Amino acid sequence: MKQLTIISFLIALLVAAVICSVCIGAVPISGRELLAIVIHRFGGDALGFEPQQEAIFWIIRLPRVLLGVLVGASLAVAGASMQGLFRNPLADPGLIGVSAGASLFAVIMIVLEVKVFTALSGLIGFYALSVFAFAGAVITTLIVYRLSKTGGKAVIATMLLAGIAINALAGALTGLLTYAATDAQLRSIVFWGLGSLGGASWESVAAVAPFVLLPMIALPRLSKALNALALGESEATYLGVNVKALKRQVVVWATMAVGASVAVAGTIGFIGLVIPHLLRLFAGADHKLILPASALLGAAVLTASDLLSRTVVAPSELPIGIITAMLGTPFFLWILIKEKRRMSV
Amino acid sequence: MIQVSHLSYCIGQKQLLADVSFEAQAGAFTAIVGANGAGKSTLLKILCRDYPLQQGNVYFHGKPLHSFSNMEMAKIRAVLSQQQQVSLPFVCEELVMMGRYPHFNGHPTKTDHEIVAFAMRQADVAHLQGRVYQTLSGGEQQRVQLARVLAQITDRREIIVPQMPIGTPKYLFLDEPITGLDLLHQYHTLDLVRQLAQKGYCVVAVLHDLNLAAQYADHLIMLKKGRVIAAGSPQQVMTCENIHRVFGVEVNLMQHPELGCPFIVNVRSRQAVCHS
């Protein structure tokens, strides 16, 4: 069966990306050593690896790779469902202000170093930034959603326009704050704005996991309704879909997933846009396949990008957003040109 | 059966429908005709619940239109709209399967697949099943949508014995279903719709071609500026006077050689002589 083949292939791809990613780095771990480390964890003998390798694997590499998997999966699933909701294959969670809102709030936090927040930092450690960024994502999306409501209905075209406006506003405010920032703050803003999995730890994985896993379970349940929505809002209603509830659910789950991802890893572009698009070329349009497949491919691509980001200029690191955009843009343009040719034939 | 009584509808100051009353029988093909902007689509959209019920009442089989849930409606009523853009690259078979969505949870059953295949044969699109919808011509797209709509309200018994009268009320609404189709498929579609009506479906269609409306429909409703000018059999409704009143055109009427229904022959000199 086609669906099964695609899913199995993507699972294999993800597993390969994860294994490469945990093995490659400043301290290389071979496949046999990796196996020995895992066996040791489950009660086997501590043979065939250096203790340093074990520490690096458990404390540094694995949480980072898992965070990459979670963030990649959530960005891609949110992107795919947003494209379904907006009935536009070029939509992106960024469109409704999730990323811009999170960025703005993070930058506020970094630049103003407000006393309240520094006090908060004491309480919840370095999560304050993430929590605040997440709040920013949710608030912006709420504003956009509210603005798009006319007569109790969220109008998709208005949502898009409101999203663009709010994005511009948030961008301007972020710019203003950047202008006022000190050099040290500027560096941290830039790094955050381009995304990085450098802050990964078991704590951050645990913090982000529920916000990613819940949407990952909830969104594929909306596959049928999202498919029907491709026919148009009226047509979906004729087929028994509660379009109003569908819109609300997709916005809530996508914001949750993307907000959490941006909060821990900064803004990472192009995954949400390119991954679902790429899959549709091979796997068709059915959300029942596209949503889980996007999660798998998004996770694999982000894991691989992170591997690149920390190895190409080792021992230094490139922000991961640079990698995804640099690889994503040419690829995306290639798709556009290809589509244009196909349409003109 | 659909009962519409004293239906009025305004958008802002503009009155789109004024005191419209009629009945559309189960087992009959009712066609709504009229000039552009007469309120035909508005009327259909109210019946489809796209537009709210502002004034007047609509009953489906004795039950108020808005007492049905979306899901209850979806199982007994299908709508073929004019606008048929699909935003994602679905394959035709997947698209027709969407018609079965109200009937299954999770995965489609064997029956759903059988009904999809049947509906695609009925709409003459079985050969397109593996094609991507967006790559089809306009007319083909329209027939695929017709197949989807048929799949939505066909049940298993109808595949086994196509001619058998249906037991429960079912409604089929079509907004200009033949615009954009070639001659063969215009006839084919209307034949199909007529057969459904004969099996007991309550069919309501907005049609532009008066001759085809007269040939296929059992009941005509003629609208002008949101009001019903005439309603009844094609013989009663299609008169020179009514056509002139509604469309502002002088015509000659003849009798269809086989069907006996009125048939319009246009008058080029604009000095019509009425033979009806």
Q: What is the CATH number of domain B2-237?
A: 3.40.50.300
Average pLDDT, chain A: 86
pLDDT reading at A182 higher than 90: no
pLDDT reading at B65 higher than 70: yes
| Chain A, nearest residue to B173 by Cα | A238
Euclidean distance between CA atoms B230 and B220, whole angstroms? 8
Give the model's confidence band at A342: pLDDT under 50 very low, under 70 low, under 90 confident, else very high: low
Give the residue, A335 or A124, on which the prediction is more confident: A335
Interface probe with A: pick from B42, B68, B87, B173, most Cβ of A within 10 Å: B87
Question: Does A234 contact B50 at a Cβ distance shorter than 8 Å?
Answer: yes
Question: Does B48 contact A234 at a Cβ distance shorter than 8 Å?
Answer: yes
Query: Mind telling me how many Å the CA of B244 is from chain A's nearest CA?
Result: 35
Answer yes or no: are the C-beta atoms of B3 and B25 closer than 8 Å. no
Could you tell me which residues of chain B have a Cβ less than 8 Å from any Cβ in chain A?
48-50, 70-71, 73-75, 77-79, 81, 83-91, 94-95, 98-99, 101-102, 152
Give the residue, B213 or A336, on which the prediction is more confident: B213
Neighbours of B85 (CB within 10 A): 11
Q: Is B64 helix (H, G, I), strand (E, B) or coil?
A: strand
Neighbours of A263 (CB within 10 A): 26
The residues, any chain, with a CB within 8 Å of residue A315's CB and separated by 6 or more, are A26
Query: Mind telling me how many Å the CA of A85 is from chain B's nearest CA?
Result: 10
Structure-token match 């709010």, residue found: A166
pLDDT reading at B273 higher than 70: no
Model pLDDT, residue B226? 93
Name the burial class of residue A27, with classes exposed (0-12), middle (13-18) and buried (19+) by CB atoms within 10 angstroms of its CB.
Answer: middle
Mean pLDDT of B171-182: 93
**Nearest to B72, CA basis, from B165, B169, B146:** B169
Query: Mind telling me how many Å the CA of A88 is from chain B's nearest CA?
Result: 6
Output the six-digit token pair for B32. 């709504």
Interface probe with B: pick from A4, A226, A239, most Cβ of B within 10 Å: A239
Query: Mind telling me how many Å the CA of B130 is from chain A's nearest CA?
Result: 11
Name the burial class of residue B42, with classes exposed (0-12), middle (13-18) and buried (19+) by CB atoms within 10 angstroms of its CB.
Answer: buried
Residues 120-159 of A with CB under 8 A from B: none
**Highest-confidence range of A53-57, A141-145, A288-292, B259-263, by mean pLDDT?**
A288-292
Question: Does B88 contact A241 at a Cβ distance shorter than 8 Å?
Answer: no
Q: Is A182 helix (H, G, I), strand (E, B) or coil?
A: coil
Question: Does A227 contact B98 at a Cβ distance shorter than 8 Å?
Answer: yes
Q: Is A152 helix (H, G, I), strand (E, B) or coil?
A: coil
Question: Does B87 contact A230 at a Cβ distance shorter than 8 Å?
Answer: yes
Model pLDDT, residue B276? 46
Interface probe with A: pick from B88, B92, B107, B142, most Cβ of A within 10 Å: B88
Model pLDDT, residue A120? 57
Model pLDDT, residue B33? 95
Model pLDDT, residue A213? 93
Model pLDDT, residue A116? 58
Q: What are phi and psi of A24, to 5 degrees?
A: -95, 140
Q: Which residues of B touch A238 (CB under 8 A)?
A: 48, 73-74, 77-79, 152
Q: Which residues of B touch A234 (CB under 8 A)?
A: 48, 50, 79, 81
pLDDT reading at A48 higher than 90: no
pLDDT reading at B93 higher than 70: yes
Mean pLDDT of B179-185: 92
Q: Which CATH architecture has domain A2-84+93-344?
A: Orthogonal Bundle (1.10)
Euclidean distance between CA atoms B273 and B253, whole angstroms? 9
The residues, any chain, with a CB within 8 Å of residue A115's CB and separated by 6 or more, are none
Q: Which residues of A touch B49 (CB under 8 A)?
A: 237
Segment A105-149, tens digit of pLDDT: 888 887 877 655 556 555 555 567 777 888 888 888 888 888 887
**Domain positions in chain B:** 2-237
Output the six-digit token pair for B161. 């014995």
Euclidean distance between CA atoms B42 and B52, whole angstroms? 10
Answer yes or no: are the C-beta atoms of A241 and B70 closer than 8 Å. yes
Query: Mind telling me how many Å the CA of A241 is from chain B's nearest CA?
Result: 7
Q: Which residues of A touch B73 (CB under 8 A)?
A: 238, 240
Structure-token match 């003629």, residue found: B222
Question: Does B79 contact A286 at a Cβ distance shorter than 8 Å?
Answer: no
β pairing state of B63-64 and B2-11: unpaired
Mean pLDDT of A231-236: 92
Give the model's confidence band at A345: pLDDT under 50 very low, under 70 low, under 90 confident, else very high: very low
Residues 61-90 of A with CB under 8 A from B: 83-84, 87-89
pLDDT reading at B73 higher than 90: yes
pLDDT reading at A344 higher than 80: no
**Nearest to B110, CA basis, from B100, B96, B99, B120:** B100
SS3 for A3-19 is HHHHHHHHHHHHHHHHH
pLDDT reading at B69 higher than 80: yes
Name the burial class of residue A219, with classes exposed (0-12), middle (13-18) and buried (19+) by CB atoms within 10 angstroms of its CB.
Answer: buried
Give the residue, B67 or A40, on which the prediction is more confident: B67
Query: Mind telling me how many Å the CA of A134 is from chain B's nearest CA?
Result: 31
Model pLDDT, residue B270? 56
Q: Which residues of B touch A232 (CB under 8 A)?
A: 81, 83, 85
Query: Mind telling me how many Å the CA of B158 is from chain A's nearest CA?
Result: 20
Segment B98-109, tens digit of pLDDT: 999 999 988 999
Question: Does B94 contact A234 at a Cβ distance shorter than 8 Å?
Answer: no
**Domain positions in chain A:** 2-84+93-344
**Does the interface ipTM go beyond 0.90?**
yes
Which runs of consecutive H residues, i.e. helices, occur in A24-155?
31-41, 51-55, 62-86, 98-112, 115-124, 127-147
Question: Does A234 contact B99 at a Cβ distance shorter than 8 Å?
Answer: no
Give the model's confidence band at A333: pLDDT under 50 very low, under 70 low, under 90 confident, else very high: confident
Average pLDDT, chain B: 91
Q: How many CB pairs under 8 A join A and B?
A: 70
As a whole number of angstroms, the longest Cα–Cα distance in chain B is 63
Mean pLDDT of B129-149: 94
Mean pLDDT of B148-175: 91
Question: Does A238 contact B99 at a Cβ distance shorter than 8 Å?
Answer: no
Give the model's confidence band at A28: pLDDT under 50 very low, under 70 low, under 90 confident, else very high: confident
